[in-house]
Amino acid sequence: MKKIVITQSNYIPWKGYFDAIALADEFVIYDDMQFTRRDWRNRNIIKTPNGNKWLTIPVEVKGKYFQKINETKISDKNWNKDHWNTLKQNYIKSKNFIDYKDFFEELYLNSTSLYLTEINFRFINAICEILKIRTNIRFSSEFELKEERSERLLDICLTLKGTDYYSGPAAKAYMDEQIFDEAGVKINYFDYSGYTEYQQLYPPFDHGVSILDLIFCEGENAANFLKSSYNE
């Protein structure tokens, strides 16, 4: 059995994204597809005393031009300082912020790449280090793929000799399950319900915020709030 997860890169994703990485034998960042505005590619949510707040990396978007995620450039070179200052302001009172302050300050201030994909990967990789997730991470641009979406996903699975493909529940709407079945690759859909709550700084509780919230609130114990830890 070899489990494959293929998904687009997100900026400081929520805990479910890292559960997907932890589950996979091979995790593929699907970044040679179209960049979508007002999506998770370049933004995520944090908690503040005044409610949830979006942290958004400003990017260049060329109208109706087909722009791949891995072609998308950052348009404001000071975004990293602004985001770090916002995080510091809102999480400085969390019980584990001081333990990770230097780590994330260095990570933010040295994240100066021009490309969104490179920034997202830098953060995903660093957070995996904190959570002790050691899954091999690849990029879809490494593979020669067909044009149709389901076939592209299947091609990656077959190239990696995957037996099981895991996807988010929303993918049921467009997934051609028949071609996976014919190729002998089983499709599995994540169940994102049933997460254990932790003590967030600002109620009411929200599972859907960035993983940084969990790290700053729970510190070394953060990985225990991933579903992958429930089954160990």
Kindly state the average pLDDT of the residues 181-200: 95
The domain limits of the chain are 3-230
| HEC readout, the chain | CCEEEEECCCCCCEHHHHHHHHHCCEEEECCCCECCCCCCCCEEEEEECCEEEEEECCECCCCCCCCEHHHCEECCCCHHHHHHHHHHHHHCCCCCHHHHHHHHHHHHHCCCCCEHHHHHHHHHHHHHHHHCCCCEEEEHHHCCCCCCHHHHHHHHHHHCCCCEEEECHHHHHCCCHHHHHHHCCEEEECCCCCCCCCCCCCCCCCCCCEHHHHHHHHHHHHHHHCHHHHCC
pTM of the model as a whole: 0.95
The answer, yes or no, to whether residue 230 has pLDDT greater than 60, is no
- pLDDT tens column, 49-103: 999 999 999 999 987 678 999 999 999 999 999 999 999 999 999 999 999 999 9
Residues above pLDDT 70, as percent of the chain: 97
What is the model's pLDDT at position 47? 98
Rounded mean pLDDT, 175-193: 95
User: In percent, how much of the chain has pLDDT > 90?
Assistant: 86
Query: Which has the higher per-residue pLDDT, 27 or 150?
Result: 27
* Average pLDDT score over the chain: 94
Does residue 144 have a pLDDT over 90? no
